[in-house]
Amino acid sequence: MRQRAENTGTIAAIIFLSYLAILLAWGFLSYGAHVKALLLPAPHAVLRELLRMLGSGEIFGDVLITLSRLALGFVLSLLAAIPLGMYAGLYRKGSALLSPVFVLRYIPYSAIVPASILWFGIGESQKIFIIFMAQFTYFFIIISDRVAAVPGHLIDTAYALGAKNRDVITKVILPYCAPAIYQYGRVIFAIGWVVIIFVEMVGADSGLGHMMIQAQRYLQMEKVFAGIAIIGLLGFLTDALLNRLYLRIFPWRKGDA
């Protein structure tokens, strides 16, 4: 236990030093006038702007809008990918029928933004559609792969014991695949952050991406960097929350967190 505690302390120190090195390099470039303030504002200027935005409360509306768009797109993509991914993973005919979905992973989400604007306009539907498409493909592939990888002897044993198709799916396949799908889901949720900020920058009148692109247009770089800090913090907090939920839902997989 002592060895483990020492290792934990060492890791924490390394993490701290990593962030400190980035902060020092940032300060060297900005305070030393090696980079113009217009391009790289000083740390204290960004912190001051961040505190102002939090104190005035102006940022919370954009945060709520961005999070709601991200969460809705994430849930819809998962709900669509579960049945289709399981169908493709369980049956070769299903995999063949849905093979075009595998090709979608090679198409960047940014490529379908122009078409989506023509289809849906620049309202909420267009943003949710892009988030859905960007996450659905990865969810589908992961679910189909994990389902196909379920050991055959587990399924055969369940049938031998009199299990029906529904029982095999709910009591064998899903419990076997769920922990891995959940962990991959954390990565897919992080991808969603990249997508939603980009989409809000391209065509939106609200959200963190819109706030940052507006600040850039008026050369308010402190506000842009404050937005970056908020996105990074929100991403860290949401991932930490998902990790804690993972330990609650799958306590026997504690070593995987």
| Co-location of 27 and 136 in the same domain | no
Gap between the Cα atoms of 48 and 199, Å rounded: 28
Supply the pLDDT for residue 257. 56
Q: Give the pLDDT of residue 252.
A: 67
pLDDT single digits (tens) 176-230 = 899 999 999 999 999 899 899 988 888 778 899 999 999 998 889 999 999 999 9
Compute the radius of gyration of the chain from its Cα atoms.
Answer: 23
Q: Which residues of the chain are modeled with pLDDT < 70?
A: 1-6, 252-257
Q: State how many domains the chain has.
A: 2
CA atoms of 135 and 184, how far apart (whole Å): 11
Q: Which pLDDT belongs to residue 54?
A: 92
47 and 29 in a single domain? The answer is no
Q: What is the pLDDT of residue 6?
A: 53
Q: Are residues 100 and 4 in the same domain?
A: no
Q: Specify whether 16 is located in the same domain as 116.
A: no
31 and 1 belong to one structural domain:
yes
Q: Domain check: are 28 and 70 in the same one? A: no
Whether the model clears a pTM of 0.95, i.e. scores above it, the answer is: no
What was the pLDDT predicted at 249? 86
> How many angstroms separate the first and last alpha carbons of the chain?
19
> Are both 134 and 191 inside the same structural domain?
yes
Give the domain extent around 123: 38-256
Same domain for 117 and 31, yes or no, is no
- Distance, CA of 165 to chain centre: 33
What is the per-residue DSSP string for 105-130? TTS-GGGGHHHHHHHHTTSHHHHHHH
Residue with tokens 């026997």: 252
Residues 157 and 99 in one domain: yes
The enclosing domain of 83 has a CATH number of 1.10.3720.10
The answer to whether the CB of 243 falls within 8 A of the CB of 257 is yes
Same domain, 82 and 159: yes
Distance CA 91, CA 61 (A): 46
Same domain, 42 and 4: no
